[in-house]
A and B are shown apart, each in its own frame.
Chain A
Amino acid sequence: MTDIVPLNILGNSDNHDQHGRHIVTGKADFAGDRLPGGKLYGALKLANIAHGKIKSIDASGALAEPGVRAVITHAECPIWMDAIFFWGQEVAGVVADDPNTAARAALRIKIEYEVYPFILDPDEAMKNGAVLSDVLPGSNTRLVTNLTRGDVSAGMARADVVVETTQPWSSSYQHNTIEPHQSLAWWVGEHVYFWATSQHIHNAKNTLVNSLGMPGNLVHAFTHFTGCGHGDKNSANAAVIAAVMSRAVGGAPVHFGESRHDNVLVNTRQFAVKSSIKLGARKDGTLTAIDARFWGDGGRNAAAPIANVHFGLRTTYKCPEASFQVTVVNTNAPPRGFWRCVNDPPGAVNYDAALDKLAQKLGIDPYQLRRKNMRPFDAPDQDAPFQVWGGTALEQCFDWVYGNSDYKGKYHVAGMKTLDDGRLHGIGITGHIDSHGTVSGASRGATILMTPDGRALINMGGARGSEGGATVCCHVAAETLGMKYEDVGVGEWGNTDVTLDAGMQAGSTFTPSAGSAFYNAAMDLRTKILNFAVTRVPFRGSAVEDLDTKNSEVFLKSDVTKKLSFREVMSGAPPTAGVGNGWSPSLRSRPVGGVAVGSACNCNGDSATCAEVAVDTETGEVEILGLWNAVDTGRTVFKQGTLKEMMSGNELIIGQALFYGDIYDEKTGAVISTSYVDALFPTTLDFKTERLHVQDIESDDSAGPYGAHGIGEPCVSNYSAVICAIFNATGKWIDMDKGACTPDKVLKALGKA
């Protein structure tokens, strides 16, 4: 791997989040944090059937409630419909003087339905003759991935050992982000203005443009702080609803904020995945064939993003003969969508279990099986279009977690180690290339303004989300301009009227995409600054190429004593800005595997995790004894933010493995886990944070700004490590039954319940 050359700004652990002071002082303004005493409030009426059609809506009871200003239905709101596909679907909304009145009045709306049979169980939905969900016409299933490489039958025939395994459904749950979906909207004439909680504010604006059929110049979208997106805040539904509600009351400002209950019912959730995987291998563990079939429960969403659940298996391991199929199953359950890391956690828990089962049959350590078959870091993709990877440090990630967890000293055959306190000990290790982390190309834009006092302000067309996106962009800008970090700040942000689209803050794409755009904007601005500089004493007679920048100063390369501060250079200069776009994923800094710089490449993240657990066979409780997670960052940009993001991935992994899971009333199709009490979320008492360890592994990836790529997804991929560790402890695979490994399920697997 390339030696990592230290940079001035990137990776500096002294640099703080640009918005840290806002947050700790309570000044961080989320969508609803404005207009005290000057707004109305909106609340929803939700369907209480799982499948059917609205026959009539009687809003008279709601309208009679004092303080109610308007009721809206699908007649007014273009993203609603009279067809019902899941219990909890939005059917009407109320606008009132205060939230309590709005919520109370919503209950008084009477809806008459034509009720159809519903289907909730994806296994039942797949059967011939099953009740149709009507999400798609004529069928509940749709094949979305069908890829074959080589001759799978021949590969299986060559194998010394063949393992055929099925994995039950992994967990499904709503994000339950601490900030509920909310938006504040108002109209001035034919213009609509709205604040939204959003992971992609320019896209939110486009959603309103398309939903309401309006010209773009009449739609003005704003965001500042977004609470915990993780894929849940990609949707702009709350903004559309707020805008329609406001229109219904003559344009008065309306704050539409979903209650916790409604937030859980209405919005998308992580999808459950089950699989049937056949693996062929030689005695020494070399894979000869893979035949993997996955099914994903898409709920009401026909386009649930399930197609890539096989990605890590397909790309991480070399195997000349392989077949992958993925089928989406639709049911009358709430829609499935993007949860942090999307398809990789549920995909990984399926194929990592299959790999561990193969290792068990071969009698070898699952870690050795993975390392033996890992594709070299610079080898091209095994499937068309055969692009190389920009670079991956998966081997280094595995090395780190293997060494720091003392996996070698702790590994044992499954079910064979009991701790002194009687609990079973287990350890699992997994890792893979993640399907996330790309560069979204020229559609990402950035501007940087140089102020007369020599400060640079980035203008960013996006929110400040969990990842501290603006801070990442400030790092890139400061590094490229040659400025001190404290001399770069955030100017205008999240305002679609005055910023370029910085892109989606999701999918681990923001750093490579917006970061690339800000890199180019900074290069543009740097050139302009140097062009001013050569007109100043002491640089007169010099060319731009003779100058360089560092620590917010311009200096002559041949005589560093000749220097001016940026402030001195810019004094008297006209307002100056740099503009840039992102670029397509390409080998930007170095050739890889013999492929030239500038070639198209994949730019994905990767990581490895080791999990160590203790399982109590009397209570079924699983305690995390240790969790080690290493992520290939390419180049770490915002050091403190990166480590926080990775630690957050660890904490979410624990939640996914041991806590999260929707609970349904099978008689009605209703999700009944609609609060933090029922939809279990770990608290500070549920695990010891000092047992969680993270490490950023820099690999100087060839794509992305300074080789940096996104890491927010890869650090969550490895919930399979915990599941595999539980197997190693008990010798049993837990049937998660679309939820987590809760004590009752562990006891059931142990034959004790």
Chain B
Amino acid sequence: MKNAGLLVGGAAAGSLGIVPATGCGRKTILGVTTSIFVCPICGQEFTSLEEIQSHFVTAHPQAGKLTAGQLTSLNINGIDYQLQVRPDWTLVFALRDKLGLFGTKVGCDMGVCGACTVLVDGVAMFSCIMLAVECQGLKIQTIEGLSDGIELSPVQQKFYDNEAFQCGFCTPGFIMAGQGLLAVNAKPDMEEVRQAFAGHICTCGNFKKTIEAVAGGI
């Protein structure tokens, strides 16, 4: 889904995002199959790629900018944001680079390390493999949303008390995963915590402390 190009238009509109609906189709006339190209902005039909490209340049000179983003509502930590979001932006990119919520980290950007974990409707998810545009109507909670930063949440307090961190880069991801686990299992044992944390990498080697911070509950 990331880096997907326009279905029509090519270089004229850039390869910025996904254009929905019919950009290109085939019409059968009198037994002859002809390709048609449909402008996704005005619906006008053309019979060649060159024609639609020329149309874009003359009729929709701002097309690159229009397809660069769409207004998207995101509910983050209980606050509704209206953002111009490009279709290829991941949720973590929108959180960090547009909303300034840098607590969520990017370790691998491919859904393997867990550093980008947020809660989506209470469930721990990797925000680096979710598109921001997919998140309309969902309740997203990040590490910043667990507390006001002065009084720690119970999970944060447990991680602090247990010194369950080393460099701290992966810690927000572990805390959010722990929060998500505790919401469905208030007193997980060590094995249940290991399972919940299995999608998280800690390259400092601090698994012991993070597991102990959550095992047994808060």
Contact = CB atoms under 8 A, between A and B. Distances in A.
Interface of A: 16-17, 19-30, 32-34, 36-37, 39, 64-67, 98-100, 103-104, 175-180, 225-230, 257, 259-260, 464-468, 640-641, 644-645, 647-652, 655, 675-677, 681, 683-685, 688-690, 692
10 contacts: A24-B165, A64-B11, A179-B107, A180-B106, A180-B107, A227-B168, A229-B167, A645-B166, A683-B198, A684-B198
B119 interface: no
Nearest to B149: A25
B152 A178 contact: no
Contact of A26 (B86, B142, B211): B142
B115 interface: yes
B206 A20 contact: no
Interface of B: 2-3, 11, 14-16, 64, 86, 88-89, 93, 96-110, 112-113, 115, 142-144, 146-147, 149, 152, 156-157, 159-161, 163, 165-172, 175, 190, 193-195, 197-209, 211-212
A98 B15 CA distance: 13
Contacts, number: 188
A689 B209 CA distance: 9
The 9 closest A-B pairs by CB, nearest first: A26-B103, A651-B205, A26-B143, A23-B168, A227-B169, A648-B205, A33-B102, A689-B208, A36-B100
B204 A466 contact: yes
- Which of A16, A675, A689 has the most B CB atoms < 10 Å from its CB? A689
Given A34-B102, A228-B204, A104 B168 contact: no
A525 B166 CA distance: 30
What DSSP secondary structure best describes chain A's contact surface? loop
Contact of B167 (A26, A179, A683, A685): A179
Given A179-B169, A684-B197, A692-B208, A676 B156 contact: no
Given A37-B98, A260-B110, A20 B160 contact: yes
A675 to B, nearest CB: 6
Contacts of A24: 152, 156-157, 159-160, 165, 171, 175
Nearest to A99: B93
A26 B110 contact: no
Contact of A25 (B103, B113, B200): B103
Nearest to A97: B68
A26 B96 contact: no
A684 B194 contact: yes
A21 B194 contact: no
Contact of A260 (B107, B165, B169, B206): B107
A466 B163 contact: no
B168 A19 contact: yes
Contacts of A175: 203
A21 B160 contact: yes
Given A24-B156, A25-B152, A36 B165 contact: no
A575 B107 CA distance: 43
A178 B115 contact: yes
B168 A22 contact: yes
Contacts of A648: 166, 204-206
Contacts of B143: 25-26
B97 A65 contact: no
A32 to B, nearest CB: 8
B167 A228 contact: yes
A651 B163 contact: no
B205 A647 contact: yes
